[in-house]
Structure 1
Amino acid sequence: MPIRPTSLKRLLAELQFAKPGDVKLPAIDPASKPFSRGDKADDKATVDALALELDTLQNLFYADRRFKLLVVLQGLDTSGKDGTLRGVFGRMSPLGVRTVGWKAPTEPERAHDFLWRIHQQLPGAGEITVFNRSHYEDVLVPVVGRQLTPKQTQQRYAQINDFERLLSETGTVIVKFMLHISNQEQRLRLQDRLDDPTKRWKFQADDLSVRKQWDAYQQAYQRAISATATAWAPWTIVPADSKTHRNLMIASVLKDQLQRLKLRYPPSDPALDRLRVE
């Protein structure tokens, strides 16, 4: 059974942030399952049903073409960005849906401002673009690495807010998800990558060095979310230790977002009513 909008608002009360403020990331339990009905099989069935509904809504979104949708998936290594793409977006038609995976900037990209490369990959009219990582890497990695001063970091927060407001004012709907996992769950998932030959290719040597900076990254995420949660680009923190719950929550939020746009098919030519195909 789908989650009603009133119930969705209640479930998101302490997980969605739409204005700058002091976000308390440690207060959110990564193992919690607020969207779950308590039965994993039932939750998985609901995710499957939501995925089909999202495909229908995506087709309508593409036909409507009044909006653009940018979905940001941000999270630490193993938090489930790839799994979300498969579980939530995997059944959507490739028509009008595009994924962009962000890595460290290249030298030509470094020659421009940090948002230059982002602007080139934004969705067009009727398009849904999903960012696997995003421009938020530029207020996480260099902050933890102390490559930015506090003043430069604050400048980037302000620039991101202005950038996202520009997008919103020109028809882009922005939905930002932070996939929140625990230290212990990350340990298990990294070990699983090492133990499974079919997953070992995803393991990188610096995964362990980044893991040693766990606390620093948690603080960087908390500060970034606190500074860039806005009415035009809110953050939703997703308890993501459970992969099924992660997909269930994200699919539910996206369905609600698309339905609130009041999408419609464009008007057809009245002459088509009399047309018969021989």
Structure 2
Amino acid sequence: MDFAEGVLDSVQRKFSKDNSIESSKWLPITYNLKTEISNFVSYFQHREAKGLENYWIVKPYNLARSLDIHITNNLNYIMRLPATGPKIAQKYISNPVLFFRPECDGSVKFDIRYVILLQSVKPLKAHVYKEFFLRFANKPFELKDFHDFEKHFTVMNYEEHVSMKHMLCSEFKITWEQQYPNFPWNDVEKSILDMFKKVLECAVKEDPPCGIAHDPQSRALYAADLMLEWTRCREIQPKILEINWTPDCKRACEYYPDFYNHIFKLQFLNEACDAFIEL
């Protein structure tokens, strides 16, 4: 099952013990605009009445490649968007951790993709591929000009005549330690892995169709996309954006030629491999 088509949409509610919408810090506040539109409007107006920043990213859960995605704080505009297909509204990450790019003369948004292998639901058994993948915006981040794709989005590999920054995670870790010496990457990654474990625990908590079914003969490969956000206490909080089932792994194979060899050894031959981290 694709998390984006049901499981991830309800993870926040399942994980919360008190059903508070703010309780799962790793999942941006998210509403299904087909089934939760009245709840969304109420929450939007509540924030508006308090004078809180109120930008939302509205995206389809049945498309890819950044198609039909909108960023706005206009409620009337948001209400018209489901006319082009089913949408979710997710609170826009307005204070992201940024990455300085000298060639862009400023700090840009970036997101991180991890590959997750699900081997078993009962008991839960999963691994994460150590080599993650990075995507960067091409223009310094500002909380304006939301029509500017290269400022607010990171998926540059589907646009012609748009540059795309390539960086291996080994290089990223070195640069990260230089830019954020007070936030060791090992600590940040530990919080990311803890988040993945909680997401999977929620996803298998209930029986189908609300949860992932147990099948001893089944295996699954997911791609989890996330961003990092600054909290009010100036701590780094990972935020899950989406999780895709059987994603395009062309870039993974180009960067790491043994990518699928490692996966098949672990998933189907049960051979230990140091390319993975067990959750």
Which interval holds the TM-score relative to the shorter structure? Answer: under 0.3
Choose between structure 1 and 2 for higher RCO, CA contacts under 8 A separated by at least 6 residues: 1
TM-score, normalised relative to structure 1: 0.28
Bigger strand fraction? 2
Bigger helix fraction? 1
In our comparison, the structure showing a higher alpha carbon Rg is: 1
TM-score, normalised relative to structure 2: 0.27
